[in-house]
Amino acid sequence: MSATDILICSLPAGIINRPPAAPALLKACVEQAGFSCRTQDLSLDLYVNHCNKNFELYQKINRVFEPTTQFNMFPELSEWLDQCIKTFKLISPRFIGLSVFSAHQHRATVMLAEVIRQHLPNTKIIVGGYGLYQDLFAEKLKQQNLADYYIFDEGENKLVNILQGQPIDDTPVDLQDLPVPNFDNYQLDNYLWHNEPVLTITGSKGCVRSCTFCNVPGKFGRYRRRTGSHIAQEIIELQHRYGVNKFEFTDSLVNGSQRDFIELIECLSAHNKNQPNPVTWYGQYICRPQSQVKPGTHQLLKESGCINLIIGAESGSDDILAAMNKKQTVKDIMAELNQFELHGLQAQLLMLCGFYNETEKRFLETLKFIAGLQRYIAAGVVTKICMGFPLMIEQDEYLHQHADELGIVIDPNNISNWKVRDDPQNTWLERLRRRMIVQAVLDRMNMPLNGNSILELHTMLDQIKSYEQQLRSPDTKINTRVNNIQPH
Amino acid sequence: MEITATVTQANNDWPHVIVCINETEIYNDKQDRIHIKYSGSVDDPYLNLTVELLNKTTNHTVVDSNGNILENQHVLLESIIVNGVDLVRTRLIHRVGDYRMHLDEIKKQHFKNLGIDIGPTTSLSMYENGVWKIQLQQPVLSYLSALQAKIEPWEQGNWQYLSEEIYKTIEICKQLEGRRL
């Protein structure tokens, strides 16, 4: 009889600047139901035990897991895989859960599922996470019989159903009923912290907006949230339990419900007033017209320990923002930033270049908007501008579902290679060119990239090199998710 | 540029302050409050701003019979806004300049005996004759942005070559596409 019911693993390519959120919450849910559970961050194992905490080496090896790169079995990777098997055998759980957060975990999932099948034939494999949807990954696993159970959406109840041997209940969980995440198995000292450890908090799922380029509404369904005081209590409990003062919200937005958001920041402000080590936090936030924001909100934000908010600014063109259904204008973004400056708050801005209605004129409006942010960067209000990839259109997005009426011609084989019926200039190549122009402007403004943006640039280079290769020898076939751009 | 400072007088005499930008005097006065607005372009590669307190004497520190200070001439820098960025509020001032007191030997010794740091300091309060010197590289906003940049350990590295390489390859692809058409 196995002592451990389930081992939940988070996989490379993963970030190592904080412990992953989902396994900690799942562990708490499973244990609450009376089962034993361990969590293992296999990305951290790779970094600590096989790269000797050499981040450069880790980055190099980690890129092997990226879906667009050439696979290369480094010796360190081979050692890591051997160690994974040893660990699995030692724990010998009844179930192993592999957390497939995105396409970045596809390769590791296949590698690990294969060795589990080989070395622990009696152990059942559960795969779960939103990465199962991408590129029909679940179908591929089923074809190869690499998993026994599939959890496509949230696993809080479903994992318990599987362990209990009961049919899976698809009813969405009430977030208010969830236990406090359990981070006991994580080696918190080994993460690549910036200054201090960070733990994750999930206050809501889904989004109150329905931006045309986003798949969050489709992924998470109806917007669900916890009350502000419930979230604050969890933060305070985690602070006491782990001695950690800094928290990251995994929510798509922290201020979906203004009432609950105000309650949260009021509770944290009150807590911080009596604390030698006040709580600090950051998360994603939506910009609203200032007329809709309760007076005093920004002051409370500051007092609650908010250190940075990630805002989807997306574009400097009101026409594009309208086509995105962002329900915000350029003026609203600037008004928000002015409030941030006044109250000593900081923001990271997410931008989306190459929208379907982006003309040269609208692109120039965005460039002008970005250049206008220089003062806010210099003042320390805007700390990062993340440009991401030029627009990709995925199946579960509004743009894909309404492509015909919007005049978008979808490439069924490639999410980047869509075209616009009435604008022959708006091609993938042109969108990539504009993206690089923005990059040049950001470089001139001395705006550093974040870690993701650097990886994205690597991927864009892979894509364009692959496309060049195709143009030079059209017979070459490249079967990766984003590399099969077809010549226009 | 906008400079605001509060001043305190002693013996009915307000502090004498001179403000210069790249050695051009833009303020030279004794007033109950300093508020200077200056607009103009500086062509030099650096923008040098100085705020100097001068002519303060022993008469400008009034003490009672017990040695308690009753009046003391001084200047407190409240805000220095350059191209819309307040160097004081953002605390960037502490990274781009310092305050050097002009002390005679007697005063130097006196301060040393009391264990007081004689500078240079980044104190915004100027109690002694001396100069606050600020040097900003041009273009100023770009320079300040570089100072503000927070780069996490996992964000380090040279990525400029990536965008250059991508841009070059785009141009090649455009040419190749043209040939195919």
Sign of CA dihedral A325, A326, A327, A331: negative
Closest residue, chain B, to A379 (C-alpha):
B85
In a domain, B16, yes or no: yes
pLDDT of A77 reads 86
What distance in Å separates the CA atoms of residue B55 and residue B15, rounded to the nearest whole number?
8
Q: What is the ipTM of this complex?
A: 0.89
Report residue A172 as tokens. 């969405």
Closest residue, chain A, to B90 (C-alpha):
A379
**pLDDT class of B181 with cuts at 50, 70, 90:** low
List, for residues A151-208, the tens digit of each pLDDT value: 988 899 999 999 999 999 888 899 999 999 999 999 999 999 888 999 999 999 999 9
Contacts of B155 in chain A (CB under 8 A): 448-451, 454
- Provide mean pLDDT across the span A439-468: 88
Contacts of A15 in chain B (CB under 8 A): 154
**pLDDT class of A481 with cuts at 50, 70, 90:** very low
The 3-class secondary structure across chain A, one letter per residue, is CCCCCEEEEECCCCCCCCCCHHHHHHHHHHHHCCCCEEEEEHHHHHHHHHCCCCHHHHHHHHHHHCCCCCCCCCHHHHHHHHHHHHHHHHHCCCEEEEECCCHHHHHHHHHHHHHHHHHCCCCEEEEECHHHCHHHHHHHHHHCCCCCEEECCCCCCHHHHHHHCCCCCCCCCCHHHCCCCCCCCCCHHHCCCECECEEEECCEECCCCCCCCCCHHHHHCCCEECCHHHHHHHHHHHHHHHCCCEEEECCCCCCCCHHHHHHHHHHHHHHHHCCCCCCEEEEEECCCCHHHCCCCHHHHHHHCCEEEEEEEEECCCHHHHHHCCCCCCHHHHHHHHHHHHHCCCCEEEEECCCCCCCCHHHHHHHHHHHHHCHHHHHCCCEEEEECCCCCCCCCCCHHHHCHHHHCEEEECCEEEEEEECCCCCCCHHHHHHHHHHHHHHHHHCCCCCCHHHHHHHHHHHHHHHHHHHHHHCCCCCCCCCCCCCCCC
pLDDT of A74 reads 80
Q: Which of A16, A374, A383, A389 to mutate to test the interface with B (most CBs of B within 10 A)?
A: A374
The answer to whether A445 contacts B142, with C-beta atoms less than 8 Å apart, is yes
List, for residues A295-351, the tens digit of each pLDDT value: 999 999 999 999 999 999 999 999 999 999 999 999 999 999 999 999 999 999 999
Instruction: Evaluate if residue A383 carries a pLDDT over 60.
Output: yes
Residue B35 domain boundaries: 2-175
The answer to whether B149 contacts A447, with C-beta atoms less than 8 Å apart, is yes
In a domain, B41, yes or no: yes
How many domains is chain B built from?
1
In a domain, B49, yes or no: yes
Residue B15 contacts residue B47 (beta carbons within 8 Å): no
What distance in Å separates the CA atoms of residue A60 and residue B64, rounded to the nearest whole number?
71
In a domain, B95, yes or no: yes
What distance in Å separates the CA atoms of residue A436 and residue B143, rounded to the nearest whole number?
22
Minimum mean pLDDT range among A74-88, A303-317, A354-368, B133-147 = A74-88
What distance in Å separates the CA atoms of residue A50 and residue A43, rounded to the nearest whole number?
10
Contacts of A59 in chain B (CB under 8 A): 154
In a domain, B180, yes or no: no
CATH of the domain at B11: 2.60.60.40
The answer to whether A448 contacts B151, with C-beta atoms less than 8 Å apart, is yes
pLDDT of A153 reads 82
Q: Which of A190, A377, A482 to mutate to test the interface with B (most CBs of B within 10 A)?
A: A377
Instruction: Evaluate if residue A261 carries a pLDDT over 60.
Output: yes
Contacts of B143 in chain A (CB under 8 A): 446
Q: How many CA atoms lie within 13 A of A394 on its CB side?
A: 15
Residues from B contacting A (CB-CB < 8 Å) are 83-86, 90, 92, 140-146, 148-155, 157, 159-160, 162-163, 165-167, 169-170, 172-174, 176-177, 180
Contacts of A453 in chain B (CB under 8 A): 159
Residue A50 contacts residue A76 (beta carbons within 8 Å): yes
**pLDDT class of A484 with cuts at 50, 70, 90:** very low
Beta strand B24-29 with B74-82 is: unpaired
What is this structure's pTM?
Answer: 0.88
What distance in Å separates the CA atoms of residue A463 and residue A485, rounded to the nearest whole number?
8
In a domain, B34, yes or no: yes
What distance in Å separates the CA atoms of residue A480 and residue B64, rounded to the nearest whole number?
84
**pLDDT class of A389 with cuts at 50, 70, 90:** very high
- Would you give the end-to-end CA distance of chain B in angstroms? 55
The conformation of residue B83, written as its DSSP 8-state character, comes to T
In a domain, B56, yes or no: yes
Report residue A138 as tokens. 């679940």
Q: Residue A265: which of A209, A303, A219 has the closest Cα?
A: A303
Report residue A10 as tokens. 């988070």
Q: Which long-range contacts (CB under 8 A, 24 or more apart) does B36-39 make?
A: B36/B1, B36/B2, B36/B3, B36/B4, B37/B1, B37/B2, B38/B1, B38/B2, B38/B3, B39/B1
Report residue A368 as tokens. 């002008």
List, for residues B56-84, the tens digit of each pLDDT value: 999 999 999 998 999 999 999 999 999 99
- How many Å separate Cα B66 from the centre of its chain? 37
What distance in Å separates the CA atoms of residue B14 and residue A387, rounded to the nearest whole number?
53
In a domain, B181, yes or no: no
Shortest Cα–Cα distance, A483 to chain B (Å): 14
Residue A249 contacts residue A283 (beta carbons within 8 Å): yes
Q: How many CB atoms lie within 10 A of CB A480?
A: 15
Contacts of A472 in chain B (CB under 8 A): 176
- Provide mean pLDDT across the span A406-421: 94
